[in-house]
Amino acid sequence: MPRFSLLTAAFLGLANNVLGDTETCGQAPYDPAQYVCWDNQFLCPIAAGEPLSNCAGACYSKFMYSCTENVLTLLPPVESPFTLTADNPNLPIHGKPVTAAGQHWVVAGETGSYCPEQVGDACPPGNETVIISRNGGVAMSVMVPGGQGAYLDPYWNMGYTQAHSAYIPPGSITTGFGAYEGGGFVNLNGNGWGWAACPPRASGGGGPAWNLVARNETNTERYNQCSPINLKINSLPSGTYGAWQYT
């Protein structure tokens, strides 16, 4: 019996060394930097800085689901325009907006927009990036006739069309987005791999913006310098335009 206790103590010591600061969830040891323990019995991973919630033993993201009477339900779609902010409390860009400029979405950049002189005061301020999503598609919320559609480009960056043009690079994806009320903007094309933000590079011009990429099973290696984020929806009154056009 004393031998058994010693062995147990030695094993626990080893486990602590290997796993860092472990805690226990019921009987199971876990690393609180990677998991959260619910009701002292369910472990859920922390994904993109979000400790996943527990719904009767199933782990879920509040950016996409809610749990009502132990049943997981998809959040309702957002019908109105919205802005997006990056969400991952472990990153310096947590809470920073997704911004559109140069036909490309980034995080924590400057919104690029244009207002024709003859429209003048009737233009929105144009300093915020406002987006709208319907039926799996996504577009910029702009006044310019013809609008500006948004899409995943062949590199899985988010792009948008130039005003007065419908041109979209071949190989882009225009459907399969989800925008959830009180939740997030999700790329359903990625098989759950989600968004990531890539820190600015010294060679990239030196601005503060982080590139936004959509991950999938084949590009995670290529984007291994990037950190997972959620895109949080901040909904606006219907009919809100962000700009005459984004540039």
- Residues in contact with ligand NAG by CB under 6 A are 125, 127-128, 155-156, 216-219
The phi, psi pair for 10, rounded to 5°, reads: -65, -40
* DSSP code, position 6: H
Minimum distance, C-beta of residue 35 to ligand NAG, in the bound complex (Å): 28
Q: How far is CA 162 from CA 134, 135, 139, 165, in A?
A: 20, 22, 12, 6
Supply the DSSP string of 8-35, one letter for each residue.
HHHHHHHHHHHHSS-EEETTEEE-TTTE
Residue (111 or 133) nearer to ligand NAG, CB:
111
Minimum distance, C-beta of residue 218 to ligand NAG, in the bound complex (Å): 4
Minimum distance, C-beta of residue 161 to ligand NAG, in the bound complex (Å): 20
Minimum distance, C-beta of residue 171 to ligand NAG, in the bound complex (Å): 8
Residue (127 or 238) nearer to ligand NAG, CB:
127
Minimum distance, C-beta of residue 156 to ligand NAG, in the bound complex (Å): 4
Minimum distance, C-beta of residue 229 to ligand NAG, in the bound complex (Å): 16
Q: Token pair for residue 49?
A: 């800085």
Percent of residues in the chain assigned helix, strand, coil, to nearest 5: 10, 40, 50
Residue (176 or 200) nearer to ligand NAG, CB:
176
Residue (61 or 172) nearer to ligand NAG, CB:
172
Residue (36 or 142) nearer to ligand NAG, CB:
142
Tell me how far the alpha carbon of residue 244 is from its chain's centroid: 26
Burial status of residue 162 (CB atoms within 10 A of its CB: 0-12, 13-18, 19 or more): middle
Choose among 197, 186, 196, 176: nearest CA to 64.
186
130 close to 141: Cβ distance less than 8 angstroms: yes
Give the residue ranges of DSSP H helices in 38-130: none
Choose among 186, 211, 216, 188: nearest CA to 200.
211
Minimum distance, C-beta of residue 32 to ligand NAG, in the bound complex (Å): 32
Residue (216 or 247) nearer to ligand NAG, CB:
216
Residue (28 or 122) nearer to ligand NAG, CB:
122
